[in-house]
Amino acid sequence: MKPLNPPIQNASTASPAINRRTWLQRGACAAAAAAIWPAPRHSAAALPDDSSTGADYEQFDGLGLAELVRSGQVTPEELLDSAIERLNETDPHINAIASTLYDQARQSIQQGLPTGPFHGVPFLLKDISFAMQDVPSSYGSQLFAGRTSPHDSTAVARYRRAGLVLFARTRVPELGILPTTESTAGGITRNPYGLDRTAGGSSGGSAAAVAARIVPMASASDGGGSIRIPASCCGLFGLKPTRARIPIGPDRFEAWGGLATLHAVTRTVRDSAALLDVTAGPAPGDSYHAPPFAGKFLDEVKRTPGRLKIAYVRTTPPSEQVDPECLAAAEQTAKLCESLGHTVEDCTDAFGKQFDFERLRISHGVTVLVSIRRTILARLKELGRPLRDDDLEPVTRYYFDYAANYTGVEIEDCRAAYFEAARAMARFQEKYDVILNPTLAQPPIQHGRITLTGMAQDVIDGILEFIPCTALANWTGQPAMTVPLHQSRTGLPIGSQFAGRFGDEATLFRLAGQLEKAAPWHDRAPTLPNRSPEN
């Protein structure tokens, strides 16, 4: 079987030394990039002298940009200007941005940024789960429009300490409850690789912005696949960490009953690892936290994973249908792993017998609906009024009303189901180091397939058809990642998912680093309207 796309070869380029004042105009960063990241496929030196598109900016990951700042070759102000220009140029096509924070970003630079590993790097925050002091966050909902927080969340405070420049917030579906990013309040977020296709959800705005090269990475959260789904749709690397690896506080001790975790979507594996290094670890008052990791995740990216034993699982119940291109992509990933010395065993049938998937999916629904109802009731208390008919989208309103039927005993039953699944997974992974699935059962779907303006049952059916394999890692709490190794025949990204043992992000980073080196994806980028392939 031929690979769905050939490995990308990095072009060999040469360039004069950087002049910081003209790097945006002349695109002369290739010499510095050679030591930071492989040279881009398209040389920016071909840009006209009066260009201000900053093509070289797009070729660097976050750590690469930070190195340019540290070496004095660019300033944080220049990086921010380049990111804003890219946002203004591309967002009209993809609708990834919920709000902009340019004045706050410039003020943070003027006041002096911490000298962290991402010093001066522009960064985007998902418009839910990442509270900023006195900055509105709408959660993709009319009901939450204008809502602010009196303080930064723990994760946001750690982003600031890492030197990141927070300059905009990204779109989400209402309350983050869809694997697509479509809402009445925010409109449709489009996939840069196909504007008629979803960018995924619920972190679709973040993924679309990173894929469109507005930034090299952006924050994301995952309660059923919401990091991995949009990363797969948009050709990015997406890691869902172990449960409670990154604190969710200070206002909450867990989200969606412990199903949801925080992290990011990135273009490179090393950015994801370095970002986890600066955000991981318990905060005072946390009820529980992930097993501590003594080293640095960034160091793991460069280490060999050894010879891994990989369980290949084509899909999980009740889904039996996987699009042939998604299945072929996973099979090609399995073959790539074998070529790297790993052992891959098809465990689909045996794996499906390890878990009560029907009970787990019902438990997921109960947990999410009750969490949604609690969030909405808290907002209504803030507003001091009852719920109005136009506050929520139809499916969200149905979920809100239906959740009133659940009892405390049922909630505890759901938690018990997750704990039982976690123990079953631990037993299964005594034999296998990681589990390989297709991240999604279909390539990025067309808009309107899964939306909150239709019927609740259509949403449930659509989710089962689109994302049968992502939620298990949320139920068990284990880390899982999607790796952007393939594309469909029409150029749509297709990811492959790997799940590691509970607390073992290190093995995933080692494997991801190996795969990234064996089949590089860094130079693969969409061509948006009014942007040439070189830009």
In angstroms, the CA 230 to CA 237 distance is 10
Nearest to 1 by CA among 231, 260, 267, 334: 334
Catalytic (active-site) positions = 126, 202, 226
DSSP 8-state code for residue 3 = -
In angstroms, the CA 417 to CA 475 distance is 8
Residue type for position 51: S
* Parts of the chain with a pLDDT under 70: 1-55, 530-535
CB atoms within 10 A of CB 386: 7
Helices 154-161 and 269-279 meet at what angle, rounded to 10? 110
Region of residue 184 (phi > 0: left; psi between -120 and 50: alpha; otherwise: beta): alpha
Q: Quick check: helix, strand or coil at residue 59?
A: helix
Query: Across-strand partners of 499?
Result: 435, 480
Please give the pLDDT value at position 253. 86
Helix (H) and strand (E) counts in the chain: 19, 15
Q: Quick check: helix, strand or coil at residue 346?
A: strand
Please give the pLDDT value at position 523. 87
Residue type for position 506: A
Q: Are 395 and 368 in contact (CB under 8 A)?
A: no
Q: Does pTM top 0.85 for this prediction?
A: yes
What is the DSSP code string of 472-503?
A: HHHHH---EEEEEEEE-TTS-EEEEEEEE-TT
Q: Quick check: helix, strand or coil at residue 296?
A: coil
Domains of the chain: 20-74 (no CATH), 95-359+413-518 (3.90.1300.10)
**Residue 482 Cα to chain centre, angstroms:** 9
Cis bond leading into 438, ω under 30°?
Answer: no
Please give the pLDDT value at position 259. 98
In angstroms, the CA 177 to CA 188 distance is 15
Strands in 15-116 per DSSP E: 97-100
Q: Are 65 and 80 in contact (CB under 8 A)?
A: no
